[in-house]
Amino acid sequence: MTDRNQTLFDRAKQLIPGGVNSPVRAFKAVGGTPRFVQRAQGAHFWDANGQKYIDYIGSWGPMILGHGHPAVLEAVQKAAMEGFSFGAPTEREVELAEEIVKLVPSIDMVRLVSSGTEAGMSTIRLARGATGRKTIVKFEGCYHGHADALLVKAGSGLATFGNPTSAGVPPEVTQHTLVLPYNDIEALEAAFQAHGADIACLMIEPIAGNMNFVRASVPFMKRCRELCTQHGALLAFDEVMTGFRVALGSAQSVYAQLIPGFEPDMTVMGKVIGGGMPLAAFGAKRAVMEQLAPLGGVYQAGTLSGNPVATACGLATLKEIQKPGFFEALSARTQQLTAGLQGAAEAAGVPFATDSQGGMFGFFLMNELPQNYATVMTTDNARFNRFFHGMLDRGVYFAPALYEAGFVSAAHSEADVAATVAAAREVFATF
Ligand code: KE4
């Protein structure tokens, strides 16, 4: 039988670099042929051969309700009939801003944009403009989109200014980006000791989903907050992935329960707030946000920012996740999955460690949960790839890279989890 995924992939590679519009989709890390999605519904999608999969990516986080939620579909269809885009303000942008500010108390004001990259890039520019400082701190293993200043890997040694991770980024652009090891308080303190007076912001993924699933430890996060406050730097939470995904109040509400009075100064959001449509945002206290054009001197703009169809999708999604019991049920389903996978691995004597928060999870083929990027990357790639493909062959679609997190939606059923765990038992038995 013709593999339509392969036929489409061959066609795509003639016209689109790597055959994909975002690199991780090309399966380069795991090998094999990417699945071209024909349609999706609930917790499932069907590929170009009509093969059904249980979807644990959900567009890398946005599809928290599952695919094709009726209330969201209805809202999008209605909005589309009223017009696709105006380049003028609309009521729904105000409603979405009100929802975000209501759900994230650290934010007084918000600006809507079209991608997490745009939100992260704008946050950096705003932090620099608001503080008059140049240096930004990020952590190895955290991804904040592909803005030049943020495409930086750790230099040699602990606290050094970064080198570009991408061709086409001149070193002059990354010379003010300091890359530190995640969860390393000593390196953090050394960096602030040496550069504190020039640090505009520290940007962090509070639960790092771009090195699979690594939590910032409470002492480390507490120290980030203290040092930013002490040195007049802005603490920016990149919650593009964790926002409205790990808890209704996002990851910052999880840390506020662990660290009394904790809140970041700025927040980057995306994914869930667009419900699968191109929509992201960044927010902060009023005094910072009012530095933005047209009020202040920090320029930022976007043709499709606050797009009326995307805001309808995001609003309908945020409405559903606020329903009583939503996150309790989502967390329980996610924990059912991770516990089941853990049990399957243990039954086969395969080293396995897993963690989750709300509808976001990660797992590692190792005995303990890693605390930083260097440890994550000691994972045996070949074993991960065997697990990935074994599950894919059995109709379970996990992230095609060991450094990516996984996502459960409200549409994932007990039966989906049972089927996933049964598949894992079969695959682990071959290890
Ligand atoms: P986008 O520009 O892709 O909308 O968002 C960038 C971004 C920013 N911050 C965090 C914490 C993110 O996780 C992302 C994007 N996440 C990746 C998944 N690791 C998106 C998938 C992809 O790149 O295709």
The predicted pLDDT at position 165 comes to: 83
Report the separation in Å between the CA atom of 211 and the middle of ligand 1, taken as the mean of its atom positions: 12
Cα–Cα distance measured from residue 302 to residue 283, given in angstroms and rounded to the nearest whole number: 16
Kindly tell me if the per-residue pLDDT of 312 is higher than 60.
Answer: yes
Return the percent helix, strand and coil in the chain, to nearest 5: 45, 20, 40
The Cα-based distances of 115 to 55, 107, 260 in angstroms read 22, 19, 32
| Band of residue 35 on the pLDDT scale cut at 50, 70, 90 | very high
Annotated catalytic residue 148:
no
Q: How many whole angstroms separate alpha carbon 245 and alpha carbon 254? A: 12
How, if at all, do strands 234-239 and 199-204 pair? parallel
Closest atom of ligand 1 to 208 CA is 11
- Determine the Cα–Cα distance for residues 22 and 17; give it in Å rounded to an integer: 9
Q: Taking residues 292-304, report their average pLDDT.
A: 98
Tokens of 431: 């290890």
Which position has the token pair 């990020």? Answer: 138
List the strands of the sheet with 234-239, edge to edge: 109-113, 280-284, 266-269, 234-239, 199-204, 135-139, 177-180, 160-161
Task: Name the residue of 117, 148, 151, 240 to mutate for ligand 1: max ligand atoms within 8 A of Cβ.
Answer: 240
DSSP-assigned letters across all residues of 257-296: HHSTT---SEEEE-GGGGBTBS-EEEEE-HHHHTTBTTTS
Residue 359: pLDDT over 70: yes
- Give the residue whose CA is nearest to atom 24 of ligand 1: 22
Overall size of the chain counted in residues: 431
Read off the pLDDT of each residue in 69-77 and give the average, rounded to a whole number: 98
Q: What is the mean pLDDT of residues 16-33?
A: 96
Centre of ligand 1 from the C-alpha of residue 430, in Å: 33
Give the pLDDT mean for 306-330. Answer: 98
Q: How confident is the model at residue 159 (pLDDT cuts 50, 70, 90)?
A: low
Q: Is 391 left (phi over 0), alpha (psi -120 to 50) or beta?
A: alpha
Q: Is the pLDDT of residue 399 over 70?
A: yes
Cα 84 to Cα 308: distance, rounded to the nearest angstrom: 6
Nearest Cα residue to atom 7 of ligand 1: 145
For residue 163, the model assigns a pLDDT of 75
Tens-place pLDDT, residues 195-249: 999 999 999 999 999 999 999 999 999 999 999 999 999 999 999 999 999 999 9
- What is the side-by-side strand order in the sheet with 37-41? 37-41, 44-47, 52-55, 396-397
Q: Which atom of ligand 1 is nearest to the CA of 278?
A: 4
Active-site entry in 56, 143, 255, 397: 143
pLDDT given at position 190: 96
What is the Å distance from ligand 1's center to 187 Cα?
A: 26
Best CA proximity match to 27, nearest among 407, 402, 411, 427: 402
Segment 363-368 mean pLDDT: 96
Output the pLDDT for position 1: 74
Res 27 pLDDT > 70: yes
**Averaged confidence pLDDT in the chain:** 96
Pocket of ligand 1 (CB under 6 A): 22, 24, 60, 115-117, 120, 143-145, 205, 209-210, 238, 240-241, 270, 280, 404
Give the pLDDT confidence score for residue 154 in this predicted structure: 62
The answer for residues whose C-beta is within 8 angstroms of residue 257's C-beta and 6 or more apart is: none
- Annotated catalytic residue 238: yes
160, β-bridge pairs? 179
Is residue 312 within 8 Å of residue 302, measured between CB atoms?
no
Q: Kindly list the distances between the CA atom of residue 421 and the CA atoms of 144, 407, 408, 415, in Å, as whole numbers in the listed order.
A: 32, 15, 14, 10
The confidence band for 160, taking pLDDT boundaries of 50, 70 and 90, is: low
Question: Which pLDDT score, from 0 to 100, does residue 391 have?
Answer: 98
**What pLDDT shows up at residue 164?**
80
**Strand-pair partners of 47:** 37
User: Residue 68 above 70 pLDDT?
Assistant: yes
Cis peptide before 400 (omega within 30 of 0): no
Q: Which amino acid is at 233?
A: A
Question: Which residues have a Cβ under 8 Å from the Cβ of 84 and sit 6 or more positions away?
Answer: 307, 308, 309
Contact 313, 147 (CB under 8 A): no
State residue 157's pLDDT score: 53
Q: How confident is the model at residue 2 (pLDDT cuts 50, 70, 90)?
A: confident
Q: What is the share, in percent, of the chain residues with pLDDT greater than 70? A: 98
Amino acid in position 65: L
pLDDT score at 153: 77
* Of 21, 143, 398, best ligand 1 pocket probe by most atoms within 8 Å of the beta carbon: 143
Ordered structural domains, the chain, with CATH: 4-68+324-428 (3.90.1150.10), 70-321 (3.40.640.10)
- Looking at the chain, the whole-number percentage of residues with pLDDT higher than 90 is 95
222 catalytic? Reply is: no
Sole residue written with tokens 């650290």: 106
Q: Which atom of ligand 1 is nearest to the CA of 239?
A: 11
Please state the rounded mean pLDDT for residues 312-334: 98
